[in-house]
């Protein structure tokens, strides 16, 4: 089911490092939270956080009152650590251990959120697969938020090559199924005191 190397790589990262020892850590994922709030979704909206890792976005979504949250990551350790952090509240979340390229959704989503997972897809095949998955499994009127390294961002994330996106490139990448609603640049301060420029883009289904 998994691409073994990729799975092993991420398993190693998440099992060896604590949440604040990775560059992408955010105590409060404020950009995602504010964007999601601005979408005025119903509290029973079907939401998925793709490549969520140990992100605290899920904690905040629960706090906001959302009741249908899926959290997906390729790493079992990441999912286990997020579950442990949430304690009993973890029972309110549907946890999925899967490579996004192998994921077969059981439902359609009203919100698909991805911060710093899509940009690891560097082959045309995997990018096309992701686009088709998002297109097929985001509801009509559904929303799609994707955050990647911007054109000014680093070339690598967690030691792996990434594709950096400008507003034009991300818009073109998803243009067949999605219209861009808004976008902004966010300068993320890593736990090591360095900065990484992200591009956040919010789309709606065509
Ligand atoms: C840079 S981290 C970002 C984590 C989280 N979204 C955040 O903003 O804190 C990338 C995450 O994507 C996961 N990941 C990488 N490739 C993946 C894939 N093909 N399918 C699912 N998850 C993947 C990794 O395990 C990791 O947790």
Q: What is the DSSP string of 23-82?
A: TT--SS-HHHHHHHHHTT--TT-EEEEET-TT-THHHHHHHHT--EEEEEES-HHHHHHH
Question: Does residue 68 lie within any of the structural domains?
Answer: yes
Count Cα neighbours of 71 within 13 Å in the Cβ-side half-sphere. Answer: 28
Question: Does residue 23 lie within any of the structural domains?
Answer: no
Query: Global pTM?
Result: 0.97
Question: Does residue 21 lie within any of the structural domains?
Answer: no
- Which two tokens mark 189? 């301060």
Question: Does residue 97 lie within any of the structural domains?
Answer: yes
Burial 5-26 (b: 16+ CB within 10 A, else e): eebebbbebbeeeebeebbbbb
Q: Do the bridges between strand 156-157 and strand 46-50 make them parallel or antiparallel, or are there none, so unpaired?
A: unpaired
SS3 12: helix
Question: Does residue 69 lie within any of the structural domains?
Answer: yes
Question: Does residue 181 lie within any of the structural domains?
Answer: yes
Q: Is residue 159 pLDDT above 60, yes or no?
A: yes
**CA 206 – CA 165 distance, rounded (Å):** 21
Q: Is the CB of 153 under 6 A from ligand 1?
A: no
Q: What is the pLDDT of residue 3?
A: 53
CA distances (Å), origin 62, targets 1, 65, 85, 148, 152: 30, 5, 13, 24, 33
In terms of Cα–Cα distance, which of 56, 60, 48 is closest to 20?
Answer: 56
User: What is the average pLDDT across 165-194?
Assistant: 98
List the residue whose alpha carbon is closest to atom 10 of ligand 1: 117
Q: Containing domain of residue 102, as a range?
A: 4-16+28-205
User: What is the average pLDDT across 82-94?
Assistant: 98
Q: Determine what percent of the chain is predicted with pLDDT higher than 70.
A: 98
- Average pLDDT of the chain is 96
Q: Is the CB of 200 under 6 A from ligand 1?
A: no
Looking at the structure of the chain, the number of domains it has is: 1
User: What is the average pLDDT across 71-78?
Assistant: 98
Query: What CATH number is attached to the domain comprising 179?
Result: 3.40.50.150
**CA 200 – CA 194 distance, rounded (Å):** 19
Question: Does residue 113 lie within any of the structural domains?
Answer: yes
Q: Is the CB of 82 under 6 A from ligand 1?
A: no
Question: Does residue 22 lie within any of the structural domains?
Answer: no
> pLDDT category, 2, cuts 50, 70, 90?
very low
Residues in contact with 184: Cβ distance below 8 Å, sequence separation at least 6, in sequence order: 31, 199, 200
- Of 24, 48, 51, 148, best ligand 1 pocket probe by most atoms within 8 Å of the beta carbon: 51
Distance of CA 88 from the midpoint of ligand 1 (Å) = 24
Each residue's pLDDT tens digit, 110-156: 999 999 999 999 999 999 999 999 999 999 999 999 999 999 999 99
Q: Is residue 1 pLDDT above 60, yes or no?
A: no
Q: Is the CB of 23 under 6 A from ligand 1?
A: no
């Amino acid at each position: 089911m998994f691409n073994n190397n990729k799975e092993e790589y991420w398993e190693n990262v998440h099992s060896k490092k604590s949440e604040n020892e990775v560059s992408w850590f955010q105590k409060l994922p404020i950009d995602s939270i504010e964007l999601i709030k601005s979408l005025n979704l119903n509290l029973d909206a079907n939401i998925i956080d793709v490549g969520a890792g140990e992100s605290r976005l899920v904690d905040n979504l629960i706090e906001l009152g959302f009741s249908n949250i899926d959290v997906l990551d390729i790493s079992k350790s990441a999912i286990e650590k997020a579950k442990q952090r949430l304690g009993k509240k973890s029972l309110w979340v549907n946890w999925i251990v899967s490579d996004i390229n192998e994921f077969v959704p059981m439902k359609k989503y009203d919100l698909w959120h991805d911060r710093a997972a899509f940009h690891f897809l560097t082959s045309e095949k995997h990018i096309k697969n992701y686009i088709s998955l998002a297109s097929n499994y985001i509801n009509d009127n559904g929303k799609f938020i994707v955050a990647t390294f911007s054109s000014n961002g680093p070339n690598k994330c967690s030691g792996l090559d990434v594709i950096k996106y400008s507003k034009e490139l991300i818009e073109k990448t998803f243009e067949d199924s999605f219209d861009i609603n808004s976008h902004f640049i966010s300068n993320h301060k890593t736990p090591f005191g360095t900065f990484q420029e992200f591009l956040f883009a919010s789309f709606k289904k065509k």
